[in-house]
Structure 1
Amino acid sequence: MSEKNREGKRTARERLAAEREKQKTAEKRRRTLVVGASVVCVLGLAAVIGVVAANSGGDDESKASGPVVAPSGAQGQDGLAIPVGKEGAKATLTVWEDFRCPACKSFEQTYRPTLNELTEAGKLKVEYHLVTLIDGGLGGSGSLSAANAAACAQDAGKFTPYHDVLFENQPVESDDAFSDDAKLIDLAGKVDGLDTPEFRTCVEDGTHDSWVVKSNEAFQKGGFSGTPTVLFEGQNIYQDRSMTPEKFKQMVEDANKS
């Protein structure tokens, strides 16, 4: 073999080795970035939790200074639950929700057909509790304003359809669009008969703000970890990874047989 050929092969091996080393370095950098991103996500969550703790009761406390006006038909301890379904239903589902919460929207999209079927059949009653967790974590007042508007819709006997409209038109979590009364009133136009002078006044005056604040305080005192919190016979079914609408439906059917 000529000296020229040996030199060519040596150069090729060196280039290959250099390329392999370059790939190893790139892979190491990629792994570092992935781990770093994970740490940022965890730290970000901790920061949000810290902000929630720091802000709990901040702006809400100032709005709680007015009288607590529960919406029509509110039930449960301190009248903090909005009931949906027939009073005589043997099974009860307790739902804590925030209208700015993406996970709450996901729950509603997945379980709404089943909940509607069971409540209409008189087998299930759902008790909705409204929460302002995202306001505390990300700032703004959209959770509070939307919850007040939903309570105003309850006064008009239109809670369920307006509740559904709010989740169907939920802005991204960081967008405080629901803090705009005009937006909430505009969405009321999607519910037949809801956009009335009485409803508008209720929304613009924040008639049920103090009630919403009290509901959020009950959520905090309950020690719940987040929204949605969905309780059936003491079990948070939203945290049960094996839970499905079909499985939940069977649980309700069984409760009605007992």
Structure 2
Amino acid sequence: MPPRFVAWGVSEKNRGDGNRSARERLQQQRERDRAREKQRRVLIVSAAVVGVLGLAAVVGVIAAGGDKNSGSDKAGPVVAPTAATDEDGKPAIPTGRADAPSTLAVWEDFRCPACAQFENVMRDAVHELEASGALKVDYHLATLIDGNMGGSGSLRAANAAACAQDAGKFTAYHDTLYINQPPETDDAYGKNAKLIELAAKVPGLDTPTFRSCVNDGTHDSWVKKSHEAFQNGGFRGTPSVLLNGESIFPTKGNEQISPANLKKWVAEANKGKKPGTASPSAG
């Protein structure tokens, strides 16, 4: 017998009861309709990231309909993390050598499962290209899932990542958040205690200063500014990935993104150019 799929929010507790009233059936139908409308926001944007792991379809989340004020209601001055950039009003945390000839811009959300799939497949290739001086990366943090599904995990995790940047440990903590990402519907990252627990996996990060930054929401307003830039950027969803300003996710021309293709595209873009030699950006 094939598995039975139940819409979100609909209980199966009394499905065998044949004596339900018409009113109860109507109420449950309305609940199913509401659940379907919520699910309509989830969009398969690509069958991408086909690498050595043989991954299947990547599920992205549509940008339309998100809450501009997703996450915490806390408001305050915009406190940018250490060494953050704001080119063209697009807040970012840079990694790699500042004078690398190619730039990868990554717009992502720590609750986004497609972002985790992208990161977990492409991570080694990106780090290798950064280490060689061929590529630098600008990470732009969004809170799309909070707006579409409720909760505050996107905002809380992004603030914690910005706090890790202050400590010079953004890359390691960023990777830890994606490796340990909970299911999209589980707002575990909405709890600061969980984010501090994961910081213990990054040597030297779990300090009183880091904990205060996380618990105080020091960079909340900066994260919200970054999300506003995402909303104003015309992006379809997360992740959105651009190499030297050209979208490469899920494809560049007729080629799908993969670790091998990313290395090839960067090599083509850097032909005749010297690799970066500046000290790597903090983090």
User: TM-score over 0.5 for the alignment?
Assistant: yes
Residue 143 of structure 1 corresponds to 154
Distance 1:52 1:107, change over 3 A: closer
The farther-off stretch of 246-255 and 177-186 is 246-255
Q: Distance in 1 between matches of 2:244 and 2:34?
A: 37
Q: Using the TM superposition, give the Cα deviation of residue 173 of structure 1 relative to its aligned residue in structure 2, in angstroms.
A: 0.2
1:185-204 equivalences under 5 Å are 185-204=196-215
Query: 1:174 pairs with 185, 188, 192, which one?
Result: 185
1:256 aligns with 2:250: no
Q: Using the TM superposition, give the Cα deviation of residue 206 of structure 1 relative to its aligned residue in structure 2, in angstroms.
A: 0.2
Distance 1:196 1:79, change over 3 A: farther
Q: Distance in 2 between matches of 1:72 and 1:228?
A: 24
Distance 1:59 1:113, change over 3 A: closer
Are 1:131 and 1:219, in contact at CA under 8 Å, matched by a contact in 2?
yes
Query: Which 5+ residue runs of structure 1 have no aligned equivalent?
Result: 1-38
Q: Distance in 2 between matches of 1:79 and 1:154?
A: 17
Q: Using the TM superposition, give the Cα deviation of residue 234 of structure 1 relative to its aligned residue in structure 2, in angstroms.
A: 2.7
1:103 aligns with 2:114: yes
Amino acid at match of 1:70: A
Amino acid at match of 1:74: A
Greater helix percent: which structure?
1
Query: Which 5+ residue runs of structure 2 have no aligned equivalent?
Result: 1-32, 44-61, 273-283
Q: Using the TM superposition, give the Cα deviation of residue 76 of structure 1 relative to its aligned residue in structure 2, in angstroms.
A: 3.3
1:1-258 equivalences under 5 Å are 43-47=37-41, 56-59=67-70, 62-63=73-74, 65-77=75-87, 78=89, 80-240=91-251, 242-258=256-272
Q: Secondary structure at the match of 1:57?
A: coil
Residue 22 of structure 1 corresponds to none
Are 2:69 and 2:224, in contact at CA under 8 Å, matched by a contact in 1?
no
Distance 1:40 1:111, change over 3 A: farther
Greater strand percent: which structure?
2
Distance 1:40 1:141, change over 3 A: closer
Distance 1:68 1:254, change over 3 A: same
Alpha-carbon RMSD: 2.5
Are 1:48 and 1:138, in contact at CA under 8 Å, matched by a contact in 2?
no
Q: Distance in 2 between matches of 1:145 and 1:253?
A: 36
Larger Cα Rg: Structure 1 or Structure 2? 1
Give the TM-score normalised by structure 2. Answer: 0.72
Q: Distance in 2 between matches of 1:109 and 1:232?
A: 18
Q: Distance in 1 between matches of 2:41 and 2:93?
A: 32
Amino acid at match of 2:235: F
Amino acid at match of 1:128: Y
Of all paired residues, the percent bearing the same amino acid is 56
Give the TM-score normalised by structure 1. Answer: 0.79
Q: Name the count of aligned residue pairs.
A: 219
Q: Distance in 1 between matches of 2:156 and 2:232?
A: 22
